[in-house]
Structure 1
Amino acid sequence: MPNSENINVTPQNIIYRVRVAVPVFLYDCFDYKVSAEQYAQADVGMRVAVSFGRQKLVAIITEKLAIDTPIDPRFQLKSVTEFLDDRAILNDKVLSLLTWAAHYYQFPIGEVMQTALPILLRQGKPYNLLARIWKVLDLNAEDKVKRSEKQQEAYKILKLHPQGTQENILNLSGIETATLKALEKKEIIICDLEPQNFKPEPVSLAQMPLTANEDQKKAIQTILKAQKKYQAFLLDGLTGSGKTEVYLQVMQEILKQGKQVLVLVPEIGLTPQTVSRFQSRFHCNIALLHSGLNDTKRLQAWQHSETGKASIILGTRSAIFTPMPHLGLIILDEEHDLSFKQQDGFRYHARDVALYRAHLENCPIILGSATPSIDSYFLAQQGKLTRLELNQRAGTAIMPKMHVIDLKISKKTAGLSEQLISEIGKRLEKKEQVLIFLNRRGYAPVLICESCGWQANCPHCDAHFTLHLKPYSHLHCHHCGTINRLPDACPACNQNTLKPIGMGTAKVEEALNELFPKYPVVRVDRDSISRVGSWQKIYDQIQKSEPTILLGTQMLAKGHHFPYVTLVAILDIDAGLLSVDFRATERTAQLIVQVAGRSGRGEKKGDVYLQTLRPDHPLLNILLDKNYRAFAKQTLADRKIAEMPPYRYAVLLRCESKSQDENQTFLTEMTQQLRLNSEENLIDIWGPIPAPMERKAGRYQAHVVLLSHDRAKMHFYIRQWWQYVLQQKPSQMKLTIDVDPQELS
C-alpha cells in the first residue's frame, strides 16, 4: 500500500457525493457518487436506489458531503442508480430519532431506517398513491338496505361522515369492501379518489365531551398547561376510571390548534374500539397504522400522516417512527404492555422511543395505564414523569370484589371449581355476562401415556407439545411452530392410554358448552381471531346485553370496555408466580389487575374469582389486601436491595448455535475481553448461562447479562466491544444484543 504522503489529491479528484443508510447488517453508512445536477436535487431523507455488492437496494440519504472534500483516488465510488423521490419523505426530527435509536439499541442504521417506511416504499415503489374515499349519495336510502344488516351498518356509519371515510378505516370497523361495492351498485354511495395536494382539515366535535370528575379535571388541566413544550405524564388510573376521556379532552384542545395527535396501542385488537371512540367524538381524518392492513392501505395511511392530512394517527408499536409535520401530542395507552417491546431484530421499546420523540418534537406525552410498569413508577420517583392519579371509576361503576379459590381443597370439573361453576350459572340466569381468563390456548398443554409415563415433547425444543383438536387433531409446539400428527397409540409402549393433562382454552370451551348449553361461549385467542374483522364481529356481539360467556387469553385483558360483564374468573396464574424471570411477578400482578378490571364497568357491581394453588403467596396478599400501587412500591424496594433494573441498567446478549459448549466457550472469551477493556467494577457480568429454554428449534441458547449503575459509560464500552464480538463470531452462530431487555427467555 503506498504511503499516504504520496497520495495525489488534486481538484480533479473532487466529486459530488451523498452518504446513505443501506438496509444491510452493517453499522456504517456508505458514500455514493452523484452528478452536479443530482447533488442539487438531493435532500437528506430522500430514497435512492443503489447497487450494493450484487444487490440493488433502496437506501436513505443521511448526509450531503461538501463538494470541496477531496477523495482518495485509490478508491472508486459507485454512482447512485436512481433518485426515487423528488423530496425528502423522512423529516429531520424523524431522522434524528432513527439515528438515536440505532445508536442506543446497538443496531445497524440502515436496518433501523427501514422501520420508518411502509413495505411498498422499502421496495422502491412510487410514493404517490391515491386513497379510496366512500361518501353517501342518497341520504334517504333506509328502505334500500333494510334486507342486509351489513349494508345497514355501513350506511349508518357513512351518514355520520358526510365528507367521506377512507376505505381502510371502514374495513377495520368491520365493513367489508364487498358491502361498499354493493351499496355503490345501488347508487346509495359513491367512491372518489382523494386529491394528492392535501390541505389540513378543520377539526370539529361530532359529540360533546362527557362531564369529567375531579380527578379527570385535574389531570386534563395539568396536561394542557404543558402544550407546546416537552413534558411527560404518567396517567395512573384505576381500571374503568376514564383514562380515555382524559385523552379525548386533551386531544380536543391540541386538534383545535391544527396539530396532529399520535396514539399508540399495544395490540391490533384495540384499534376498532379506539377508532370508534375517536370517530364518535371528532370530525377529522384518522390514519390507522398496523400490521393488519394490506401494503397499499398502510402506505396511504402513512402518506396521510406524513403530509399532515391525518389529524389523528392511531397505530401499534412501529407507528412511533412515522413522520408527522404537525405533531402536538403523543399518547401511549396501556404503557406497561410487553407488546411495546420489539422481541426480535431491532429490539426497541416504543415507550422509551416515544419519550425521546416527544423531547425532539417539544410536545407533551401521556403514558396511561391502570398498572404502570415498575420502570415508569421509578421515572416518576425521579421526577422524569409527572404522575397523575385517577382514583375513582367513571360514572356509577365501582371496583369489583376479589375472591380467592384454593384449588388444593376445591372439587373441579375441567379446571373449573364447583364454587366458580355455581357463580357462573347465577350470573347467566340474571342475563349478565361472564369473562373467563386462561392464558393458554389449545386443548391441553401436555399429552401423557398413563401406562408408561411417555410425554409428547417437541423434538426441537425443551418444551411439551400442546394438543389441539381444531381444525383437526394435532400436536403443536408454540415455541418453534412444529406440528405433528396425533399418534393412535403411545410411541413408547404401544398402549392406547394417551391422556391430555392440563387445560387450554379449547378444552375449557368444550366443558363450558356442556355445563351451560343454553348460553353462547365466545372464545378469543390467536386461534379463533385469525381473519381481519373477526375480532370486530366478536366485539360487537359482546356489546349486546345478552347473557354470554367470554373465554380467552391476554387479548381479553387489554383495555377493553365490556359493560355487561359482572363476573371475571382467572383460572390459572401460578406459573407467573414461580418463574425465574425477575419481572414475572410484575407481569402477573398487571395481568390479574387488568383482567379483574373488565368486571363491573357498567351499572351492576362486579366480582372476580381467582383460582390458585398458592393462596398464601405474598403477591396475591398485597394485591387483595391493598392494591397494585402498594405492590409496585414493594417491588421497587425489593429491586433496590437486589440492585436489579430499574436501579441498574441492563443489556442482554443472546447466543444461539448447534452446541451449548460452543456457546459457553465463545461467550466466556468475549466477556473476558470486555472485562479487560472496560473500567474495573463498572460492568457486572452475569454468565454465560443457559437460557431458561436451553434448546429451541433444534439450537442451543445461552445468555450473558450485563448490569451497571452508569448507563452512558456502559453503552460506550459495549458499543466498541459489540463490534469486536461480531467480527469474532463463528459463521453458524447467531448473536443478538438486547438493550433494556424485558424478558430473559
Structure 2
Amino acid sequence: MNRCRCLVLNAALGPLDYRVPDGMHVEPGSVVVAPLGPRQVMAVVWDEGRLPGTEVPAGKLRPLLSVLPVPPLAAPLRRLIEWTADYYLAPLASVVRMALSSSAALQGGGMVTEYRLTGAEPGRLTAQRTQALERLEGQQATIRELAEIAGVSDSVLRGMVGAGLLEAVRVDSDRPYPEPDPHHAVPDLSPAQAEIAARLVAVVEEHRFQPFLLDGVTGSGKTETYSEAIAAAIEAGRQVLILLPEIALTQNFLTRFEARFGCPPVAWHSSLKSSERRRAWRQVAFGGAKVVVGARSALFLPFAALGLIIVDEAHEIAFKQEDGVRYNARDVAVMRARFEQIPVVLASATPALESLQMAEAGRYERLILPDRFGGAQMPDIKIVDLRTEQPERGHWLAPTLVRALVERAERGEQSLLFLNRRGYAPLTLCRTCGYRFQCPNCSAWLVEHRLSRRLACHHCGHEVPTPERCPECGEPDCLVACGPGVERIADEMAEILPDARVAVVTSDTLTSPAKAAEFVDLATHGGIDVIVGTQLVTKGFHFPELTLVGVVDADMGLEGGDLRAAERTYQQIAQVAGRAGRGEKPGEVLLQTRHPEAPVIAALACGDRDAFYAAETEARRSAGAPPFGRWAAIIVSSEDEAEAREAARAIGGTRPALDDVMILGPTPAPLALLRGRYRYRLLINARRSSGLQTILREWLEPLKFPPGVRVAVDIDPYSFV
C-alpha cells in the first residue's frame, strides 16, 4: 500500500490522498499526521473505494508524516461513522472527530505530572490561597485543572507549589483500571427477572446482533436484570457500554455497579478532567476498560472488543443531541450493535413510541417486567383539580397536597415535589411601568434565581444581578416575580413545614457527579425531608422512605405545540410517580391539574398505559408522524435578520414538489433569536418510503449562502423551538 485516502478532521476539505513512505505501515482506521500546506493535521486512513474523490497522480502525492500510537479505528466503528454521517446529513469529518475525542490520548501513553495538597501548615494565607486549600481537599490533577476547580489562576497554584502547599506526583497515564468481578455479589432475582436475565445472557454468549426492549415498571429491578448480561460479557472477555441520559445519574449508577461487581466502572462524560479522559480513552481502545458508563458521546469510543450495549432510560430526550451532529444516541446505539454484531438492550419504564412500534413489528424483542421487585406496590395516583381546589393566594400548592405533605412529615417519611422549571420565577416585571426582563441574545425572558441573586437566560447563559430598581422607569422595590419555579416552591415549603430539611434538585444545584452523590447520600440516609426538583429527579433514584410525590403543574408539558408533548408528559410524570413507594411503605402521587379530562392526565390517573399508547399510536398514524412517517427540520440562522430571512426564502423557493413529502415554512422559529442569531425553520413531513435524506441532499447541496448564514438539518427532530 504506497498510497491511501485519508479523512482529514476538517469538514470543509473532504478526503485527501497521500503517499505512504517506505517502512511506514498503515491500514484502514490508522490515525496519522499528514501535511496540509504549511501545517500538520490529524487524519484517519479510510477504506479503499469508500470515500469519493478525484484520483491524484502518484507524483503529486505528499507523504504521510507519522502514525499515531493508538489502535486503528475498527471496521464496525468506521461503518457506524459512515452510517451516522449519511443518516443525519452530517460531515463525515465531524463524526470522526467524536471518535477521536481526546487529543491527548492520541499522543501515546507515558508519565504525566499532577499535583495534590501536601497537608503542610499553611501559615499566613492570601484569600485566594485560602480558597484553593478549601476547594482542593482530596483533589489531584494538573495545575490548569486544579486552577479551574479552585477558581484561582495558575500562578496562585504555582506559588503554592513553591511554598510547599502543593506537591508534584508522577502518574502513569495508561495505568489499568480494576477489573469488575462478575461473581462479586450476585443478586437474588425474582422468577421473572431470572427468566429475562437468562435470555439476555444467552444472546451475549452467542455474540450476535439482537435488539431488546426491556420494558419494566419503575422499581421492577431492570438494572439487576441486565447486570447478569453485563457479568456474562465480562466473563467472555468482552467490553460493555452503558449509556445514561444525564451526568447527574452517573454517580448513583456507579455506586450500585460497585456494590454488584466490586469496583466502579469507567466513567465517560463532559465533567471529566482531561487526564481522566485521556486515560479512559486509551484503556477503552486497548481493552483495559471492561465496563464504561457514560453520556451519549461514549457511543463513539473506539472499543477493542465490545460485547454488549445497554441504553438505560432509553426514552429520554437527552439522548438526542441538539447541535453539531444532531444524532439520537438511542438509535445510533442500535446501529453500533448491528455493525458490531452484539446485543443491545433498551431499558425503560416508559418506552418511546418508536421503540414500542419496533417491538410490535418484530424488529426488537420485548421483555416485560410487569411488577415491582420484592412485593412493593405501584403508588396510588390521584387528581387534584385546581379549578375547584385552588391554592391560597400567592401560593402554588393546593390544600390536599399541603395536608399530604404535613402527614408525611409527621410520620418521618420523605416527599418529592416535581416542577420542571428551574429558578424562582420564569418572568420578572415592573409593577409600575410593566417592563419585562428579556435576554438580549434570545427571544426569551430572564428567569429569576434567588439563591444566586441573578436573572439568567436558560438558553444562552446570559446573567445579570437582580437590580434594586427598574431599569426602565427607575422605581425601587417594584419588581414582581410571575409564576413559580422550584426555588419558589421550596420557599412555600419552608412556610408549610418550617423545620423540614428541603433540597432543591436541578441542573443548577447538581452541577457535578460529586454533588449528585452527596445529594443521593443525604436522601438515602434520612438527611432530607422534602425534595423539590425538576426532571433530574424523575429517573434513576431509589429512596425507600419516599412515599409522596406531588406534581405541581401536570399540564405544563402539554403547552407549546410540541408534536411529542403528550408522550413526553406521560413519560415524565410516570417516571417521577415511580419514585414513590419503592420500599415497604405504600406510595401516593397527587397530580395538580386544570385539565383532568386531558387524555394523558386521565391515563395517568387510572394507570392505563396501554390505552394511552394505543391512542397516541393512532394519532401519530393518522398524522403521518413518527414512527409511521418521517420528520426533518431545516434551521437557517444568521446574526443579520434580513440575511437569515432571505436565505430561508431561497430554500423555500426551491422546494421540491413531491406527492409523498409535505414542506411547511419557512417561518420564524418559535425561539426566533438564539445566542444572538436570528432563526427561521422549515419542517418536512414525509412518508417512510420517500428517501428523505436523498431529497434533502439534492435540494440543499446546489444552494449557496453568504458566509454568515448557517443551514442545519435535523433528522428526526425532538425540539421544535
Same fold (TM over 0.5): yes
SS of corresponding position for 1:205? coil
Aligned to 2:201: 224
CA 1:65–1:243: 2 relative to 1, 3 Å = closer
TM-score by length of structure 1 reads 0.83
Give yes or no for contact 1:27–1:108 (8 Å, CA) kept in 2. Answer: no
Matched, 1:125 2:111: no
Aligned to 1:495: 475
Q: Deviation of residue 195 (structure 1)?
A: 10
Q: Deviation of residue 37 (structure 1)?
A: 2.1
Percent identity between matched residues is 33
2:44 to 60, 63, 80: 60
The residue type equivalent to 2:497 in the other structure is F
Aligned to 1:566: 547
1:76-121 Cα distance to aligned partner (Å, 9 max, x none):
4443333322x53421211111121112111111121110123234
Distance 1:167 1:488 in 2: 41
Q: Deviation of residue 265 (structure 1)?
A: 0.8
- Superposed, which structure 2 residues align to 1:594-605 within 5 Å? 594-605=575-586
Aligned to 1:483: 463
The residue type equivalent to 1:97 in the other structure is L
Matched, 1:114 2:97: yes
1:298-357 Cα distance to aligned partner (Å, 9 max, x none):
221222222222221211101111122322211100000011111100111111111111
Distance 2:252 2:290 in 1: 18
Aligned to 2:534: 553
- Superposed, which structure 2 residues align to 1:526-537 within 5 Å? 526-537=507-518
Q: Deviation of residue 514 (structure 1)?
A: 3.2
The residue type equivalent to 2:443 in the other structure is D
Matched, 1:511 2:492: yes
Aligned to 2:715: 739
CA 1:442–1:113: 2 relative to 1, 3 Å = same
Task: Identify which range, 405-414 or 321-330, moves more after superposition.
Answer: 405-414
The aligned length equals 665
Distance 2:66 2:267 in 1: 31
- Superposed, which structure 2 residues align to 1:160-171 within 5 Å? none
Give yes or no for contact 1:572–1:612 (8 Å, CA) kept in 2. Answer: yes
Distance 1:357 1:336 in 2: 18
Gaps of 5+ in 2: 115-139, 143-149, 151-168
2:85 to 78, 102, 105: 102
Distance 1:242 1:285 in 2: 19
Give yes or no for contact 2:180–2:264 (8 Å, CA) kept in 1. Answer: no
Give yes or no for contact 1:284–1:310 (8 Å, CA) kept in 2. Answer: no
The residue type equivalent to 1:222 in the other structure is R
SS of corresponding position for 1:458? coil
Matched, 1:685 2:663: yes
Matched, 1:278 2:261: no
Distance 1:397 1:269 in 2: 26
Give yes or no for contact 1:563–1:600 (8 Å, CA) kept in 2. Answer: yes
Aligned to 1:47: 31
Aligned to 1:716: 694
The residue type equivalent to 1:17 in the other structure is R
1:399-432 Cα distance to aligned partner (Å, 9 max, x none):
1111222223322353222222221111011111
Give yes or no for contact 2:449–2:456 (8 Å, CA) kept in 1. Answer: yes
Distance 1:246 1:410 in 2: 44
Matched, 1:28 2:36: no
The residue type equivalent to 2:91 in the other structure is P
Distance 1:703 1:89 in 2: 40
Q: Deviation of residue 693 (structure 1)?
A: 1.5
1:348 to 311, 314, 327: 327
- Superposed, which structure 2 residues align to 1:557-706 within 5 Å? 557-675=538-656, 680-706=658-684
The residue type equivalent to 1:57 in the other structure is V
The residue type equivalent to 1:733 in the other structure is V
Distance 2:714 2:693 in 1: 12
Matched, 1:405 2:397: no
Distance 1:272 1:201 in 2: 18
Q: Deviation of residue 27 (structure 1)?
A: 6.9
Distance 1:481 1:285 in 2: 33
Distance 1:522 1:326 in 2: 42
Aligned to 1:378: 357
The residue type equivalent to 2:7 in the other structure is A
Matched, 1:326 2:326: no
CA 1:238–1:116: 2 relative to 1, 3 Å = same
Give yes or no for contact 1:120–1:296 (8 Å, CA) kept in 2. Answer: no
The residue type equivalent to 2:714 in the other structure is D
CA 1:234–1:540: 2 relative to 1, 3 Å = same
Q: Deviation of residue 200 (structure 1)?
A: 11
1:650-692 Cα distance to aligned partner (Å, 9 max, x none):
221101124555444433332443416xxx3242212112212
- Superposed, which structure 2 residues align to 1:201-220 within 5 Å? 203-214=181-192, 216-220=193-197
CA RMSD of aligned residues (A): 3.0
Q: Deviation of residue 568 (structure 1)?
A: 0.7
Q: Deviation of residue 521 (structure 1)?
A: 0.9
Gaps of 5+ in 1: 1-14, 133-165, 169-175, 177-190
Distance 1:114 1:220 in 2: 36
Matched, 1:241 2:217: no
Distance 1:197 1:711 in 2: 50
Give yes or no for contact 2:599–2:612 (8 Å, CA) kept in 1. Answer: no
Distance 2:653 2:442 in 1: 30
Distance 2:189 2:641 in 1: 61
Matched, 1:541 2:522: yes
The residue type equivalent to 2:107 in the other structure is K
Aligned to 2:133: none
SS of corresponding position for 2:33? strand
Distance 2:58 2:301 in 1: 40
Distance 1:217 1:486 in 2: 56
1:359 to 330, 338, 343: 338
The residue type equivalent to 1:432 in the other structure is E
Q: Deviation of residue 267 (structure 1)?
A: 1.0
1:161-192 Cα distance to aligned partner (Å, 9 max, x none):
xxxxx999xxxxxxx9xxxxxxxxxxxxxx99
- Superposed, which structure 2 residues align to 1:1-40 within 5 Å? 16-26=2-12, 28-38=14-24
CA 1:71–1:301: 2 relative to 1, 3 Å = closer
The residue type equivalent to 1:673 in the other structure is T
